[in-house]
Amino acid sequence: MSFVRPSVDRLFMSVGINYGLRVIAVILSGLGPDGALGMRAIKKYGGMTITQDETTSERFCMPKAAIDTGKVNFVLTPKAIANTLIDLVMTELTA
């Protein structure tokens, strides 16, 4: 019996609807397509989306599913994700 209940999609959909332009969603290495639908919602409401690249992912299923939606702004290494998050937040704070 599997106790896995994908929840990233539900979280991202809720966050997208409620916070719109203020959202930055990140999907890291993981199994299955969870998060892909949520990434669509984030983009629909004006948010920013980032996924981990294939070369640094232990399991590329989740990032790939998100990338395949065509709704991902950045595909980056974990270090580049951290730097991009800092840049995006700092740019927003100084705007």
Nearest CA among 58, 13, 57 for reference residue 36: 13
**What is the CATH number that goes with domain 8-94?**
3.40.50.180
pTM of the full structure: 0.90
pLDDT in tens, 11-45: 999 999 999 999 999 999 999 999 999 999 999 99
Domain boundaries, the chain: 8-94
Terminal C-alpha separation, the chain: 50
